[in-house]
Amino acid sequence: MNGNKSTVGTWVGFIAILIWCLLPVAWILSLSFKPVAETTAGSPQFLPKEWTLQNYRDILANPDFTRALINSFGIALIATVLSVIFATLAAYAIARLEFKGKKIVLSIALAIAMFPVVSLVGPLFDMWRTFHLFNTWPGLIIPYMSFTLPLAIWTLSAFFREIPWELEQAAQVDGATTWQAFRKVIVPLAAPGVFTAAILTFFFAWNEFVLAISLTSTTDARTVPAQMSFFVGADPFNPPYSQLATASVVVTIPVIIIVLLFQRKIVAGLTSGAVKG
């Protein structure tokens, strides 16, 4: 009897949490299928009175939005690749080599990861204007890497510590160089950690807003989160909620696809890091 009550309580709690988490998503989806006139009428109902795909046609035909999508993909992908490469090399050195100040390096990396982004906007704005990096892809890629590298280093160093040192030594005995042993033995074994670091880096770069809105002035480098803030419509007191919701759905689709395709690797990487770290 107690077991049945526990099961029922578990399912009730699970359903309540599921509704709490998915209700905003359902509301945004519903808004994206409503005509603009319906969303500006005041207190619209949950389901559309008239279903329409016009919002998606308008968003995808908007050159500023499509340009922002290209910027987001390019900047996030480049920042992810560079961060994972540098983090892999740094984490391997921290895990395998003995040198003075190792703990200090890790502490500084963690402090950088926790540093508030907004406090760096002013200095970066002045520096990027001086170095002609303002409103450019490198002007966003560099600070994105600065904030994602520490987390990636912490994640990967935990994996490298758990890989037996004897495997690398055996590869070297068989004639492999240090670089070959690292590339062909160590990195494949740390693949879950590398994948986890890449996913976290990509999500940060894809969703980041403060730097994207502060370090850009045109659509040349502005990413989607920043570009969405310019969807104000003709009337500033009645923003185009349906188009904003549509843009949010379009931006979320790549993230959902990545999670659905690689959910096992994501979970394996996160749980392995938690156990081994």
Asked if the structure places residue 159 within a domain, the reply is yes
48-61 per-position pLDDT tens digit = 888 888 889 989 89
Query: Is a pLDDT exceeding 70 seen at residue 259?
Result: yes
Asked if the structure places residue 67 within a domain, the reply is yes
Predicted confidence at residue 275, as pLDDT, reads 44
Asked if the structure places residue 36 within a domain, the reply is no
Q: How many domains does the chain have?
A: 1
Q: What residue numbers bound the domain in which 270 lies?
A: 62-276
Would you state the structure tokens that stand for residue 231, as one six-digit string?
A: 């969807």
Asked if the structure places residue 17 within a domain, the reply is no
Predicted confidence at residue 267, as pLDDT, reads 64
Asked if the structure places residue 27 within a domain, the reply is no
- The predicted model gives 79-83 an average pLDDT of 93
Asked if the structure places residue 84 within a domain, the reply is yes
Asked if the structure places residue 89 within a domain, the reply is yes
Asked if the structure places residue 15 within a domain, the reply is no
For residues 206 and 148, is the Cβ–Cβ distance under 8 A? no
Predicted confidence at residue 254, as pLDDT, reads 85
165-182 per-position pLDDT tens digit = 787 778 878 887 878 888
- The predicted model gives 95-101 an average pLDDT of 78
CATH number at 208 reads 1.10.3720.10
Query: Is a pLDDT exceeding 70 seen at residue 109?
Result: yes
Global pTM reads 0.84
pLDDT band at 106 (very low <50, low <70, confident <90, very high): confident
